Amino acid sequence: MQAIVRKYHFYLLTLYQNILKAQSTIEAKFLRDRNLKVHTRIWKDTPEQIKNKIFEVITLDDGESPIICYYPNSGYWWLLTSFKILVFERNEVNVIMLSDIQAVELKKLFDGDVAKQECDAVQLKINGVYIDLKVERRTWTIVFTVIQFIIK
């Protein structure tokens, strides 16, 4: 029994270390991106008043860490964490588990529906269905790259 407990403890420790490594890699990718970001921030750079508003409607799981926040207004925002993407829209929080994301795509951009400068969403494929994740204009590249990095 002790051997099983030790293996499980080692598994949890390794998983936590991988999350921390991924988080620091994501933060580095985000900081290297030179596009002007007004509403999209690394969590540690997010203003306290926005953090407080977010935590009025969500609770993170044990060991879960916020990474990137997109907060254009109080009616729509999302938070990328080490486990999921929490999307607040129409006064409710939708939870997208990172493990459920099959692909991240730029369908509107590649279909020619929008220009690069106007692209304001990435598409997440979940159970064969595409969901739009709104992003700040000119930040689609970093959001796409970060989510692609996470789900691989």
Domain harbouring 96, CATH code: 2.30.29
Q: How many domains does the chain have?
A: 1
Q: Evaluate if residue 13 carries a pLDDT over 50.
A: no
CB atoms within 10 A of CB 123: 18
pLDDT digits 0-9 by tens, 72-122: 999 999 999 988 999 999 999 999 998 899 999 998 777 777 887 788 999
Q: Which domain holds residue 31?
A: 2-151
pLDDT digits 0-9 by tens, 24-72: 777 776 676 666 578 999 898 899 999 999 999 999 999 888 999 999 9
For the chain, helix (H) and strand (E) counts, in that order, are 4, 8
Give the DSSP per-residue string, 35-64: S--SSEEEGGGS-HHHHHHHHTT--PPTT-
C-alpha span between 48 and 134 (Å, rounded)? 22
pLDDT of residue 136: 92
